[in-house]
Amino acid sequence: MLTQQLLEITNNLTQAVATWPRRKPGMFMAGTRVIHYADLHSFYHQTRQIFGQRLYNFRTTSAAPVVLDCGAHIGLASLFFKERFPAARVTAFEADAALAEICRANFASFGASDIEVIAAAVWTHENGVSFAQSSDDAGHVAEGQADAVKVPSVRLKSYLNVPIDLLKLDVEGAEFALVEDCGAALKNVRNIVMEVHAMDGGPVQIGRMLARLEELGFRYVLGDLHQATWMPAETTPPFEYCRTEKFILTVFAWQT
């Protein structure tokens, strides 16, 4: 039901979404329930990916899979997991406190208040971290950035001491440090869906990270490739198809 309602909303937005102002919060009615958003563009594209393309759907034999939603934004992925697996035990991590509150409101609206919301950045320590807040889905750890704010952090590795059915990582570049820090603890994770950012030094980091996943017993498929043409490029590839050397892709990894 939720899937149908959200896709109907975005179908009606398709022609107008590009003209809407960015980072302006609002809400829609999904049937008799309210869905809150912080940025219409992010809401639109996340809905199309999560509920339309079913980017995070996975198979499991567990009736109550344990899911870590890292980089929850307004909670759409967590709501998808609860619709797919009503008994799922979902923890949603969101570094932006305002977005974490929207998560809570959306979960309550759709009867999913059992989703645990942790208003903190997933990181390599628990000492807090500088975070660039943007209200859209581009907020990221930004040590040394002048306009960043200090937010609480949790060490992701500390949540991997029990079996995890799915680890969803959409953390805008922090994935490299997290995989390195989690190390062998990732063996407790059965499945990973991770958005990976090949920006500054990204291609080299991707190779190292994929090699690390292989060492830990994961197989993987790469998909959902987007050339990051909105980012300034240092070099231009010598191929007509490649408009930039920077890109975003999704890693789908599972234990063998």
The secondary structure of the chain, three-state, reads CHHHHHHHHHHHHCCCHHHCCCCCCEEEEECCEEEEECCHHHHHHHHHHHHHCCCCCCCCCCCCCEEEEECCCCCHHHHHHHHHCCCCEEEEECCCHHHHHHHHHHHHHCCCCCCEEECCEEECCCCCEEEECCCCCCCEECCCCCCCEEECEEEHHHHCCCCECEEEECCCCCHHHHHHHHHHHHHHECEEEEEEEECCCHHHHHHHHHHHHHHCCEEEEEEEEEECCCCCCCCCCCCCCCCCCCEEEEEEEEEC
Q: Answer whether residue 28 shows pLDDT above 70.
A: yes
- Closest by CA to 90, choosing from 71, 62, 112, 59, is 112
pLDDT value of residue 233:
76
> With contact defined as beta carbons under 8 Å apart, do 120 and 91 qualify?
no
Q: Residue 3: which region, alpha, beta or left (left: phi > 0; alpha: psi -120 to 50)?
A: alpha
pLDDT value of residue 143:
67
pTM: 0.93
- Closest by CA to 199, choosing from 150, 145, 138, 155, is 138
Mean per-residue pLDDT over the chain, rounded = 92
Kindly report, residue by residue over 153-174, the tens digit of the pLDDT: 999 999 999 999 999 999 988 9
Q: Answer whether residue 201 shows pLDDT above 60.
A: no
Residue with tokens 């306009």: 147
Lowest mean pLDDT among 88-92, 115-119, 137-141, 219-223: 137-141
All domains of the chain in start order, with CATH: 58-255 (3.40.50.150)
Kindly report, residue by residue over 36-83, the tens digit of the pLDDT: 999 999 999 999 999 999 999 999 999 999 999 999 999 999 999 999
